[in-house]
Amino acid sequence: MSKTNEMYLDKARTLVKGLKEHLETVKNYGISIDDLQKLEAAVNEGERLNAEVDRQRAELNKIVPNASRKLAEVRSLTFELKRLVKPRVVPSHWLDYGIPDKR
């Protein structure tokens, strides 16, 4: 969980706890138990969603290095094949060989 999200959730939990302890007083300010329950539910849902984000981020971190290596291989092979064709073909015909380069 990101530090920022964790901080907001902690602050919200603390607020709910404090307001519940002083519910009779804060009722006079227009705060109801329903409001506190809504905030509690939002905190719980936020924690659940944050956990899901962390799980997916961990999964993604396993995939990203493989994708990066494969894309580096694609770039390298593309460069190498173009390097072999370009000196042997007139630039005006490069596009015919799938080389969109202008120079």
DSSP count for the chain of H helices, then E strands: 3, 0
What separation in angstroms does the CA of 88 have from each of 8, 42, 50, 74, 103? 63, 65, 56, 22, 13
Q: Which pLDDT belongs to residue 2?
A: 79
Domain positions in the chain are: 3-70
Q: Which pLDDT belongs to residue 3?
A: 86
Instruction: Quick: pLDDT tens for 51-86.
Output: 999 999 999 999 999 999 999 999 999 999 999 999
**Mean pLDDT value of segment 9-38:** 97
- Do residues 50 and 1 make contact, with C-beta atoms less than 8 angstroms apart? yes
Instruction: Quick: pLDDT tens for 30-60.
Output: 999 999 999 999 999 999 999 999 999 999 9
**Mean pLDDT value of segment 12-30:** 97
